[in-house]
Structure 1
């Protein structure tokens, strides 16, 4: 996958829409959250290992998914680089900081641009 200016702008627009949520959005507390992409087998497998946590699928990634974000104390994910960069900026603006970021090879899908990451409130 090639990162272009257009894909970065689209990712930024998605993150911007998350921050423009109305104040009356549903508050889901500070429960830990898992973000995954159901188009990527490794990401689905990762989410399945995170039992009992709230989940957001990036395939639904429009405003509905961002409204579900709430104000989590901790967020973990396995996603593509382009999704990770958009998410990172949006979550940093909510006060979360990167705790862990690792590039992983995708033996199931053959993708080599997946990132396993965790952000938490400090």
Structure 2
């Protein structure tokens, strides 16, 4: 009975929840500096800006952005909104494809 009650009290992310309820204070402050105070605000901002949504936020790089987007995608059902496909998880600075140029193989972005 106690275990069932404990399972029922676990909070699920919701679009109305403040960012600080789910993210570290430093991440919350960075989002709030752009006027993003709820998870719904985050999703709207990310979806409008696309894959580089994180650029205007101080000290939020591609790595942290991937973690945030992955977490939001994991909780889309409880949040009630989805992250659009244009908000990519891939780091644009990392080569992910191999190209054959003049018979030699090289990766995009490689020197």
Give the TM-score range, shorter chain: 0.3 to 0.5
Using the size of structure 1 for normalisation, the TM-score is 0.30
Using the size of structure 2 for normalisation, the TM-score is 0.32
Q: Which one has a larger percent strand, Structure 1 or Structure 2? A: 1
Tell me which structure has the larger Cα radius of gyration: 2
Q: Which one has a larger percent helix, Structure 1 or Structure 2? A: 2
Q: Indicate the structure whose relative CO is greater, using CA pairs within 8 Å and at least 6 residues apart.
A: 1
